[in-house]
Structure 1
Amino acid sequence: MKINWGTAIVIAFVAFISFIMYFVISMSTDKKFDHDLVTEDYYQQELKYQDDINKVENAKKLNQNIEFKKTNEGIILSFPKDLNTNNIKGKVFLYRPSNKQLDFEMPISLSNHNLLIPDNSLLDGRWNIKIDWSYKADEFMFKKEFNY
């Protein structure tokens, strides 16, 4: 049986379309390739992004910014020593890019200038930390990516 060139082109197109359809269907139904957005309210967060930039710039103007140290007990965040701890308010948000069920948020409550994030709250791997805090009327933000 001989196949002419017109039949060969049709067979090649059908094979190519079949491959593409198989690829699209397998990628869209396989849970291994299911990825979520970073946050559920992505667009609202995007509208507030300029405020975050301003807060980061305010933090750079401080004499001393937040210091980040990894210890055996967990992570110690040291706030500037020249600020009164009673006037520091805000929250710490830890984001795990690989698993959103591990994300958590905690309020800032200081008795001295240090805040401890306990070791049992963190699993090994990559984390993003975002500290959104204020001192009196000024607002600041600290962001860092780290491996624990």
Structure 2
Amino acid sequence: MKINWGTAIVLAFIGFIGFILFFIVRMSTDNRANHDLVTEDYYKAELEYQKEIDAQNNSTKDVAQLQVKKQSDGLRIEFPENLSPEKIKGTVSLYRPSNKQLDFNLPISLSDNHLLIPDKRLLDGRWDIKVAWTYQDKEYLHKENITY
């Protein structure tokens, strides 16, 4: 049986449309392609953004820069040496862009000028770290992206 040009073009269109429909059905039902908003309360977080900008400016103005270092036993967050560790309060938020079930928050309670996040809590991959802390009623914020 011979296929003429018209039949070949119609078969090509049917094959292409079938492939596109298969691709759409597969991507809409696959859990790996499930992408949510970055945060649940996105618009509320957007209104709070100016406070974050002010806190980040405080940390650069007051020379209160943190250092985040990867070590064999975990992730070490070092606070400035000139600050009293007992007066530092706040939280460390670790956000995993690829899986929101891995996100967690840690309260800051220091006896020394560093905080260690154990290696068993962190999987390999990208993490967004947000350290929001206060010292003598002044708010500071440090944001960093690392690949662990």
Q: TM-score range by the shorter chain?
A: 0.7 to 0.9
The unaligned stretches of length 5 or more in structure 2 are none
Deviation at 1:59, TM superposition (A): 0.7
Q: Cα deviations across residues 93-116 of structure 1 (Å, max 9, x unaligned)?
A: 001111111111000000011111
Q: Cα deviations across residues 20-66 of structure 1 (Å, max 9, x unaligned)?
A: 65554443223232111212122211111111111111111122411
Q: Which residue of 2 aligns with 1:38?
A: 38
Q: Which residue of 2 aligns with 1:147?
A: 147
Q: Which residue of 2 aligns with 1:108?
A: 108
Q: Cα deviations across residues 114-148 of structure 1 (Å, max 9, x unaligned)?
A: 11111111111111100000111110000000011
Deviation at 1:17, TM superposition (A): 6.9
Deviation at 1:83, TM superposition (A): 1.3
Q: Which residue of 1 aligns with 2:120?
A: 120
CA distance in 2, matches of 1:105, 1:28: 31
Amino acid in the other structure paired with 1:110: L
Q: Which residue of 2 aligns with 1:88?
A: 88
Number of residue pairs the alignment of both structures matches = 146
Amino acid in the other structure paired with 1:142: H
Percent identity between the aligned chains? Answer: 50
TM-score by length of 1: 0.83
CA distance in 1, matches of 2:64, 2:54: 17
CA distance in 1, matches of 2:69, 2:17: 54
Amino acid in the other structure paired with 1:125: G
TM-score by length of 2: 0.83
CA distance in 1, matches of 2:137, 2:90: 12
CA distance in 2, matches of 1:114, 1:20: 53
